[in-house]
Each structure stands twice: as structure tokens, then as C-alpha cells.
Structure 1
Amino acid sequence: MPVVDENEKNPYLRDPPSDFAPVEELSETAAREQVDRLREAVREHDRRYYVESEPLIADRTYDALFGRLRELEAEFDLDHPDSPTRSVGGEPIEEFETVEHVAPMLSIEGSGDIEDVREFDDRVHRDVGDVRYVCEPKFDGVSMEFVYEDGRLERAVTRGDGREGDDVTANARTIGSVPQQLHGDYPDFLTVRGEVYMPKDAFQAYNRERIERGEDPFANPRNATAGTIRQLDPSVVAERPLAVFYFDVLEASDLADSHRAALERFPDYGLRTNDRVEVVADIEDAIDYRDRLLEARDDLDYEIDGVVIKVDDREAREELGRTARHDRWAFAYKFPARAEVTSIADVAVQVGRTGRLTPVALLEPVDVGGVTVSRASLHNPEEIAEKNVNIGDTVRVQRAGDVIPYVEEVLEKGSEGHYELPDACPVCDSPVERDGPMAFCTGGLGCDAQLRRSIEYYASDDGLDLEGLGEKSVRQLVDAGLLESVADLYALEREDLTELEGWGETSAENLCAEIEASREPPLPDFLSALGIPLVGPTTARELAREFGSFEALREAAEAEPERLEGIDDVGETVAETIHEFFLSEANAAVVDDVLEHVSPQAVAIDEGDELAGLTFVFTGSLEDMTRGEAQDLVETHGANATSSVSGNTDYLVAGENPGATKQDDARDNDVPILDAAEFRRLLEENGIDSE
């Protein structure tokens, strides 16, 4: 039976009121009545918006009705699994349940060869005679089964292996074009097949947001869709722009005689169909349909990789039957892969750890050397101007060293002029400054993008080497609201971590122990971990040896930057960079917050000369000291510690799990390789205490 009849009086359907009586003035009976009407109205507005594309009310009015419904359900404990409010997501789940499909979801036999298409038609005619075909776009998304009982969404299941898949009902409920309750004169039982996808414009906008947040973008809309639908937290799915086209009946208590007739009923039920579906008389018309859709492909707001040609008559389908892998009444006539030439849909600006702005072209996905590419580097403003690249241009894309995609040239202008970098950082809105061909955000560690990357660097091998805190886990902790600064690392507790997906008691305890052990770091490690531009581990050691304490270095960097210029590895440019880092109010605030929890250990600045003239390289881990401590030790006694082996290297010290490259370089250059015990004996022979 229908859920909403427009002839019934529902005050929230047309010209709904914008003011509501206070919740405390409603009786439970009045609240229930209002909730029922609101649910009916919201479902109808969803159908009008997602299926008919003819909304009755403005978005703001819809939001008011939706908000009122949520408020009443919460206040009067009226939650219901069919409620439209389920579209905002529920509680995270531990894992998906595997369930059997109502009917097999088989694959589609296909080819890009026109002769294979005609051979399919010949076989159909041999087996069942003349037929009409229904031609549809072949969507490049995620195929799913949707089961409705008495009009209510019972479950949504991924295709899986075609026989069974994952129950992702909680996630499917968050997709706007998935009705919780069917409309119209629907069958008592209906199972349909649909394609979940991410619209191209929404995909580009979402990728842009990810890049500007410092996250890796998705390769293409299908990957974005697949990754989203398998999220264990439905609220994450609700935030991502997914949609559905429904294109087949798998099982029903009332089956139409033809595929086309079944599709024509879908909109009445509230199931969204694609407007490019056509019925054709013969295979040549189907081939013409494919060619027309290929030409229109770039104008569609969804990815397709071909067309599907289906026998329309249901009896003929039954007679044709199926193989173990595919239905014999359908064939996919595939498009050729896009190769190298594509268009720029948008440009995102990525902010790195040092504040450098890198423009990234967001492309209509294209095949380059067998890899689907959806983004390409534009390098810097000067190169953009030189190539005259802008949004809307048709470009040729190449992969540098078969790895990094880049825009090689503009083939056809679809815009005026070239892309200009923004004057303000897209993340924190701080002014952007140019340095030659480069551009930098001036927000420092007050910029969220720089902050997240700074936390990653702080925990990296070149920082404090906090095992268990990599890019993925930092992103997770930032997204969960547990890290808003580097200093927040020291406020993390085991219980904070174990509540997150993927964290067990052991991993949480290990990370907390790592963080606790980093409260008194060696000064060189701490200086490097701060991520001061142009200051890596080697320069950090030189600064530590010169100033001895963090306070002395900071004071000199702020007031006497010229003192830094004479230090090894520190010239005028590096000195000025260090000076600007410490003068930044945002950086100073972050550093001060960290110092509330961390006490960098001073180093001796009175150097000996026991190892003067020697050069050491370290690889692997030493038993009783970190690599950084070993480097500091030899440098304190007059030696040099470098990161790579050359003919000027005197010793390579190899601890546990050493790098093979450095050992090979040592052998090629006849450099002695010392193990940990031999290194300590060398120190003792020179009167150096290594304890």
C-alpha cells in the first residue's frame, strides 16, 4: 500500500510550516502523530528529490523538517529502523555479516569487439528467435542487492562472489537515493539490483577536500565508492556523496512480463532509474546506441565503461538461461579505455609539512600505461604559466619514471588563461608567499595541514621514531578529534585508542609506552622532530653540538640568527629559515605546548678531538643507543657522521637489521664495516666512554 497519498492532508508536504511548538508542550500522542506525518513527508521529499528531480520544497525547509523529526524521535524515544533519520548513520559495527543472495548476482559476458556483439545476437536468435533489446549504460560502480519486504528495506548486500556478499544495510540506509520504505503499489516482496556510485562532480570535490586535508585522494570514483560502502562506521558513509541507479529485478512476488515494463514501475516505488535506457529493435540499433553513448560519455556525471544489451522479454530470458558465471540473455559492449588524453576537472592545492603549496590537477580518470590516473602534478606556478594549464583544458598526461603522473601539454584550451594559485592557504586562510617558483603558506604549525604532517614527521624515523604512529594512525587520531596539536600526543590514554577501529589492548599500550619514553629526547632528535624547514637530522646534530641546549638555540635563532650561519650545514638561507620558524607566533605556541610535556636533553658542547678527521656512517639499530645518540657521540669527539657511504667514509657501523645498500656501497669503496661490539672497542681504544 502507498506510504503517501498527495490527496491526504499532510501539513509537511506542501508549504510546510517553518515554526514548531516547543517539544515540552507536546504530549506523547501528539508527538507520535507529528513523527508519523514528518516521516511520510520526508520520504516523499526524498523521492521527489532523488527520483523525480523535482523537489517540492527548498533545501533549508527540508533541513528544518528533518531536524524536527530527529528532535522528536530523540525526545520521545521514537526511533525506528525505517525512519529517514537513519540516513545520518548509526553506531559503528565490528564486522559485516556474510549472507546469501535471494537470487544469483552473476557477471555479464562482454567484449569491446563488435563481432563478439553480433555473435551474441546470432546465438540469441538461434535459441529464441526475434527479440527486442533494452540498452543501458554499464555503470562503473559497486553492484548491490536491495531486498524489500512489505515495502520496507530489509537488507542491502554487496555482490561478493555472486552467490553471497556482505550485509551493508546500515551503510545503504545513509544513501539518499535508497528508500527505507517503497512508495506506490509495490509488490509484497521485491529484490532489485542497483549500482552504487559516486557522481563525478562530487568525486572531484571530495578528492579536492582530501588533498587539501593532506590525505591521499581516491584513484577513481569506483574505488571511492567501494572504499566507502565497506566502512564499518555508517556515519562516515553518510558524509560521502553516494547515489544509486536501480536497473534490474532479481526476484519479486509480482514480475512484469518484460524488463522495460519492470523498469517503468521503479520510479513509482521510489527507485531511481537512469534516463539513458532505450528499447531497440535489433542489434544494429544497439550498436548505434553504444556509439552515441560513447560520444556522450564525458558529459555524463557518472562513470560508465560500456553499455549493457539485454533481452527485453522475460520468457525469452528464462529460455536462454545462464551459465555458471553469467546470464546468457545479456552482453556488455565495452568502451575502449581512455588513454593518456583527458580533461582537467578541477585543481586542488596540497599543503605540505613545510607549508609548500603544490597544485594538483584532478583529472577525468584516464588509462596511462595500464594504470588508471585521476590526478597529476602541476609542480609549481611557473610551470603552470609556461604550459598555460587551467581547469577545463584537454591535456596529455604522462607518468614520470612510470610512477608520478604529470601534465605533459595542453592539447585543447577549454578555459581562459592559466590557473592561478590562491593568495590565501586553502586550509588555514593564512597569506601565501612566493619564493622563486615556489609558494608557501605562512600559517606554520597553526595550519591544520602542516600540523598533521608535522605530527607524522614528529613520530617518524627522522623525528622521535615513535613506533606504531604512522601516516594512517595519525590521520585516524586527528579525524577522531584526539590530536589537534603535537602536544596532544602526550595526553593520549590507552582507553582513547582501544575505542577506535583496529586498536587492541596491546597496540594501544605499546604506543602509549613509546610516547611516554619520548618525554626526554636527545636534543638533536627533538630539533629534527620539530620539522623546521631545511633542518634534517644532520643539521639538527650540528645545531645541538653548537648550542648544547634547546633554550640556547631558540634564543640565538630569535635574536642573533647570524650566529647560526657559521655552523656546518647552516648557511644564510637555512639560518634565515630557522629564524623565521621561531619568530612565528603559531610555531612558538605549538613548541611551547610541546615543552610542557617534553624536556630535550642537553648535549655536551665541549668537544674532544679523539676521533678528529674520521667519518662514520651508521645503519641498523644498535643495542644500547639510538643511531642519533651514536652519531652525536662520535661528533662530540671530533668525527663527522654522514648519511651515505662514499670514498671519504672511514667506517660503516652496522647494527641489527642493517640496510643492504649501505653495506654494498661500503664494500664497493673498501670501507671497513664494524658491528656494534667492534664499534665499542674502537671507542674504548680512543679513550671514549660509550656507557
Structure 2
Amino acid sequence: MDLFESQRISELESLITRYQKSYYDGEGEISDAEFDALWDELKTLDPANSILHKVGADSGNFAKVQHVMPMGSQEKAANPEQFLAWAEKHKYDAYLVEYKLDGASLELQYENGYLKRAVTRGDGSIGDDITANAKKMGGVNAAIYKDGQLVPFTGGIRGEVIMTHEVHKTHFPDKANCRNAANGLMKRKDGKGSEYLNLIVYDALSTNGVSYFSNEEEKIRWLMDCGFNVVRLVICKSPDRVIAYRAKIMEERKSLDYDIDGLVIKERVINLADASRDRPDHQIAFKFSLEEAVSTLREVEWSISGGTYTPVAIFDEVELNGTKVQRASLANPDTLRKLGVRIGSHVVVVKRGEIIPKIESVVEEKDLVTTEIEFPKVCEVCGTPLVDEGSRLFCPNKECAKRVLHQLLKYQQVVDIRDLGETLITSLFNDKRLKSISDIYSLQVEDLVPYFLNEESMEADKKSLGAQKVYNSIQNHRRMRLATFVGAFDIEGVGETSAEKLIGAGFDTLEKLLTATEEQIAAVYGFAEIMAHIIVEGLAENAEEMRQLVESGTIELETAGGGLLAGKSFCFTGELVTMKRADAEQLVKKNGGTIKSSVTKDLSYLVTNDTTSGSSKNVKAAKLGIPVINEKQFLELI
């Protein structure tokens, strides 16, 4: 072991001990996911480290009580690969899968059916007696009844104390999260606030020789019949189904009333010997991917797209959803100011599902040395003073070279003039042959020949097939949908999808779009006042050229509403066989349909050649009742 590893192990031991103590004292400093990352790093560097076999310890505010059942820690799988490796060694006929509740563990101890003590997790063997507080909680039964009869149960019942999101939002918004708030309240000496908590149970052990259930599934059913709030249980027949279920729950968990941070997978058989170990081997916590982390902002870069300057945060590397992240968009000047972010700030970085990483908040800390973020003042290309409208920072010069080139490239991409590629457009622009979108349609074969033949070939009067091909491609893209035409002009806030929404709201001609007021556009669902202002401003800036192209007959706009796929929307996922995805999407648009990048409730079809996979899109489509069709079925629609 080298010096660096030895120092890192010592650092991890210190951090884990510190965070365990703060957690058990009711004031956890970091999230479970961040703690798990430290734990996993120590496990990798020093698997035999004694810290990994310690649970923690409660404060000294309460009497100490021995547990009825051991309350050790679980083995963890952070991703499907780790879970499959565990499942390969644990082949069960059925995998019982329960929510891993993100709260505070509690054991209820009963004698002949009556509650005697409620004991916190403590060090896994001995915990704090908080019976008085527990009796105020929802889900803690003073006596056990089934079918109206007292059940003379003697033993322990284990569960998790949770706080709902609504309670946290309404009564304890000053606490970092529901878990920390619940952990702090249940250990208050005066018991104040315990009435806001609830217990959800998932385990039971009879200690007087009486058997009430024969397996884990019957155990949950018995607890439910006895009037306890029980953890949700599903049964999966294979490890692959467990992985698919995890993907489904990762999307659904934001709609739950309380927090969960993974799933617990176990066998149907009750294995007391395994459960008594400090880290049971026959069950595992299949954690959700880390979706947020805290890092330090080091600098802000300004990304230039056309004439718009977007702040991008650069921070110390963190791992989110299995990928390493160092950059996140700060959206615009207003967002940056509202967050109060500065160089040196500790920031919360989030990445939900497939969404691009973003800075969600700043961790307020006293005595932290930070500096202001500098805003660019002038356009780096044309030198024009930038305009800061709050919602955007941009160069107002329509003739700015960077803006013009960006618009030309956007037009080619959206209209899909493939043979007129980025390299050729850039060369024509640099040679001042292309200065506007209109110039694209003025190109003749002879204008293009020098970009395909050398001087010797031109002197020999050779013909250029490449130049002819580009010319033909341009001529073949004079007829298009209104949404495509408007979306191709690189107007901020107006892509094809948003243009389709405006057209669907009644602005179904070019003139109606160009004469729409900010109030009218803001009234359309999905468009707010700020966006409406940007759109009206952008349309006005390009109105003259748009009208000229249409009125001169250079561009022919198709009548809205026609086509075999009119009114239908499609989302493509996975590889296609007979065509590229871009071609399939163009096929949809040419037939009057629309394209969506994700599965939403108003989607008409999800198209994939793997219709039975457990992907997040397939799972969400099934949940929303959206038809999932393959490539052949898609082509049959046309």
C-alpha cells in the first residue's frame, strides 16, 4: 500500500466516524448516497477495515436497551452489474423486493401482545429507549390485534421512522431533508414533534417459540393483518426483472409521499442465522444511482451559441448516475444571480434521470472565502456591447459573423439538406458567398465547383458530380412544413416542436406567427411571458427574410394538418434496422406527425425493436398505456 492510499484510508475512517456520529445524534451532515460513496471507497481500498463492521452509536440522552433482533448493515449494490454479481451467487426461485426506506430504524419490543419498549438502531446491538416518543408516532401500535383479538406476540418488530414530504415542507423546511428531520425529532428528550412521524415496518421475530408465519412473504401479510403500516413488497422471478423493477421505481419514487433510496432484495425463506450477522449475505440493498452531490465551484465559462452567452459551471469532479461530472449549465444570468453562486461556493449538483447536470442550490456556509463571477461585457467576435436581459445575455448585432454562421448551420440541420454539410457551409461563409439563408437558394453549380475540383480540373472543364449533387439537394428542399421553416431560423425558443405548439394553438400561417403579440403567445400553454418576449423579438428580426423567401416562391410552405400521421407523435429509442433514426424522424415529419425526445402522457407511439426490454422508456410507456411498436409496425402506419 503506498503513502497516498494509507493517507486516504485514514481520512475516510475519520470522515465515516464523524458522519456516523452526526447521523445518530440527529443532525446528519450529508446524504445517505454521499455517505455510501465514502463507505464504498474505503471498502475498495481496505476491505478488512474495522470501521466497515461498526454501525454507529446513539447519543447518551436515553436509557440503553438490548435489541431483540440484530440491526446490522446490509450489503450494497450500486448498479445492475454489482447486483447481478451478487445474484449469480444467490440463485432463488423468487426474489422478494421491498422499498429501502430512507428514514431512521426503530425496533418495537412486545410482550404478550403489548408494547413495552421502542429502541433505536444504536450500534446494532444496543440502542436508545425512546418509547414515550414512539407512542406519539403514526403506525406504532400499543397492542397487537388481529380480527379483533389480541395477539399474544412476544418479540421484536422492526421498521423505519419516516417523515412525509408534505410534513417536511409544511413544518420543517429548515431541515436538510426528511430523514434528518425524522432522526432529530424522534430523539428529542421532550418528545416534541414525534407526532409528525410515521413508522413503516418490514420485519418481525417471535422469541417465545410461537410461530406466526413461515416465510418472508407471510411475515409481511401477517404484519399488515395486525394493523401495521408495511413496506411495499413485490416478487420478481429473475434478477433481470429486479433490474427492470428498479428502473421503474427510480422514475416513480418522486411521486411517493416519503423518501426511498433503493430496494432490498431477499429470499422467501426466513434465514435467522444470516440475519444475525453484522452484514447479512442472503439479502442486499440495491441502491438507486446517486442523483445529487456537493462540490466546489472553481470557475464559470461562457458558452456561445449563435449570439447567446450561457454560463457553465466548472466544479470539482463528482459521480452522478454512474458518470463523472465536472460541468453543469447555469442557464442564464438571472438563474446565476438567484442561486447566489460565486467562485468557491459549495454547490449542490443534480442529475435526475437522463437530464443534463445542473446546479440546484448553494450550501450557505459562514467564513467561506468566495469571489464574484465576472460577466463578459462585449461580443468576442464583433465587439458589440452585450445585452443582459436577465433571462439571457446576448449579442444584439444581427450581422455578427458568429450569429450568421450559426443560423446557416441550424437551417441546414433542421431542413435536412444533408449534402450541404457543415464544412462546405463554413467555407462558403468564410469566402463571403453565404451571408444569409436566402443566399443558400441562390447558389448555382458553378459557384460550388471550386469547392470540389482543383484549378487543373476546372481548366480541363471537368464536371463536378459533388457540386451537382449539392445543388440538387438544395433544390429538393424548397418545399417544407411551416414548423420546419420557422424552426430552422435559429430563433431562440423556437425549435420545430415549439413552432408546432404555436401552430396547433391557431397561429397556422406564417403571417399569423409574424404578427402575433407577446400577450397572445404567452397565453399558449407552455409559453411564459419571458419566452413570449424572446420569440416575438426573434420573429420580428427575421420577418423580412422569411416573407421574402415565401412571397418570391423560393420556399413553398405545406398546408398544416395534412399527412398520414397528422395528429400523432412518435418517440424512437434503440437502433433501427432499415434506416437511421434521423431518417425515421424525417419520415414522421413529412407525413404530418411530430417527434418527441421522451415518453410523456400525450405521446402516441414509442418505437423500438426491443419492445419487451425493461428500459426506462418502455417501463414508462407501459405505465402510461402508450402503445410500444417495433420498426415494422411503424412502417406499416405509413
Q: TM-score range by the shorter chain?
A: 0.3 to 0.5
Superposition TM-score, scaled by structure 1 size: 0.35
